[in-house]
Amino acid sequence: MDKLFYEGLLEKAIIASKSMPDCIKTKGFFKWRTVEGNLSQTRYDNLERFPSTDYEPQKRGDIFLINELDENNLFYAIHATFVGTYRYKFKLNATGEIDFLEQKLLSVR
């Protein structure tokens, strides 16, 4: 994983998801967990987390994580908020821009 590339991809994903950067306390990377021999798209393992420089302490403390690109240039984000946990699906196109494809609510708090 080229860390600089993925840190840039992470920032673009936050913007593409229309999340509020000043509410994101923690950013990072994850991988899908294998459950009973199958790859899950609801359970994940943290690979790395780091504090966000955009976070304003008086705001809520969201977590925003992305995984690696697959062979079709698709990747996912996990966004844990005070309301629940969301999964976003993105595509990195040939121009380097990110297309927001899908949002799914995984769990409600």
Which tens digits make up the pLDDT trace of 15-32?
Answer: 999 999 999 999 999 999
- pTM for this prediction: 0.92
pLDDT at 1: 62
CA 9 to each of CA 15, 34, 99, 109: distance values in angstroms, whole numbers, following the listed order? 10, 24, 12, 28
How many Å from the N-terminal Cα to the C-terminal Cα in the chain? 32
Cβ-contact 20, 82 below 8 angstroms = no
CA 43 to each of CA 21, 30, 98: distance values in angstroms, whole numbers, following the listed order? 24, 10, 24
- By the 10 Å C-beta count (0-12 exposed, 13-18 middle, 19+ buried), 81 is classed as middle
Mean pLDDT on 45-66: 93
Mean pLDDT on 52-81: 94
